[in-house]
Structure 1
């Protein structure tokens, strides 16, 4: 829709609101339910703490348009950061940014023909990956969410996280639309990197239901994961 926002930057703004609400813990998990398209002309995020604990705090939010109509809801989980020293970690595939090459964004054009989300990002691909359909790994660097303000680690992650259903789409073209009515992001390690990587895959079913899943990285290793349920429509 020409008058609707890409959900990635919107999710980043919601994350920002939760981080302003809870300042003594790390935002670990964010879930957003998109009830209606988020309008380009503006929206408001209203947050409140639902449980305040010493180690874990939870919060909720209503997102409304400029007329006060509910367009999305969200919930967050914040946890205290500790210093445990060295701890055992699971093995993971290493990704080197220096091996990547520039490429086109997976969704090369919008259905309305106007500039869109891809106009404000840079992308690169690791060896063996490109903007073809199917499971895909992609490096992405986005613009700041707000002019003159450096986004937090979680806020930087949100635009990339909401692209998993597009980067791993199972076919090109507009024959099947794959909309995500929700997104859940978990960031277990805050990264200071500007370039972040998503390794995503999508599962489409003939029932019109689907799921996109992605693991998120910087050059040092895993930083989180994301899940998007999918509504498929011809």
Structure 2
């Protein structure tokens, strides 16, 4: 196994090899989708350095292979204020595994008297260390819920099923560079279905088929928070809805469409 101090290693910035921290909970040969989403954000951000990535939507067409993949990004529309991008994550055989669409906005000069609303979400210093919501995987191999992720729960919260508020800190995407704020929150953004689950994975699988992440401002700090809830329906379709925040307040939202299957 390559480096265990980051989610990925890379020699050229295009081909990425996952480490054990990236393995998903369902299949030992597939990745958790959060870290690869961070790499897709990285790819599209490089297209528009003067603009700010505000929304990223990823469609998970196939399991993300644990044996590595390429990431490619391209410009869809280059406007003065609004730019659009797309990216593809491609496996060794040339098959597209994930498609992503980005929206990039040109920041304006700060307006001091801008009317706003902010919600106090607490701080990680007021929370206590605890286990990742899914303590055991279906395969028993080192995975995303292991040493690469630290979790803290505010008073009255824990890793039991149900709506959950928590703080998360992860290893970096790459040892060789500092991730952008958008990239850093991607692993947490893809955890809403785990934190807000209504049952354990041994009883119900709750795999997400997509992730839409919207950030109205950049998150600050190592610890980032989620307030997650899962809406599960008897037709086997669900929605994970997560409010995302840092110690200053709310930064955005993440939503996942779920496929639910009783085990």
Same fold (TM over 0.5): yes
Give the match for residue 127 of structure 2: 100
1:132 is matched with 160
Structure 2 spans left out of the alignment, 5+ residues = 1-26
Instruction: Supply the distance in 1 between the matched residues of 2:179 and 2:74 (Cα, whole angstroms).
Output: 21
* Superposition misfits of 4+ residues, deviation over 3 angstroms: none
How far apart, CA to CA, are the structure 1 residues paired with 2:260 and 2:153? 26
User: Partner residue of 1:45?
Assistant: 71
Name the SS of the counterpart of 2:145 in structure 1.
helix
Partner of 1:60: 86
Residue correspondences, number: 234
Tell which deviates more after alignment, 87-96 or 207-216. Answer: 87-96
The CA deviation string for residues 185-212 of structure 1, in whole angstroms up to 9 with x for no partner, is: 0011112311000000000000000000
Q: Does 1:228 align with 2:247?
A: no
More moved, 224-233 vs 41-50: 41-50
Report what 1:22 is aligned to: 48
Match of 2:44, SS state, is helix
Q: Provide the C-alpha distance between the structure 2 equivalents of 1:61 and 1:185, rounded to a whole number of angstroms.
A: 15
Kindly report which structure 2 residues correspond to 1:179-190, keeping only aligned pairs within 5 A, or say none.
179-190=207-218
Determine which of 213, 216, 221 is the counterpart of 2:244: 216
CA distance in 2 between counterparts of 1:65 and 1:91 reads: 42
Q: CA deviation at 1:173?
A: 4.1
Residue number in structure 1 paired with 2:113: 86
Counterpart of 2:24?
none
* 1:171 aligned partner: 199
User: Any conservation in 1 of the 2:121–2:250 contact (CA below 8 Å)?
Assistant: no
Offset at residue 76 of structure 1 (A): 0.1
Query: Which residue in 2 is equivalent to 1:31?
Result: 57
Deviations 1:24-53 (A, max 9, x none): 100000000000000011111121111111
Q: How far has the Cα of 1:128 moved from its partner? A: 1.1
Distance 1:44 1:177 in 2: 28
Uncovered stretches (5+) of structure 1, i.e. residues with no partner: none
TM-score relative to the length of structure 2: 0.87
> In structure 1, how many angstroms separate the alpha carbons of the residues matched to 2:39 and 2:113?
33
In the superposition, the TM-score normalised over structure 1's length comes to 0.97
What is the rounded CA distance, in whole Å, between the counterparts of 2:93 and 2:50 in structure 1?
A: 33
CA RMSD, Structure 1 to Structure 2 (Å): 1.0
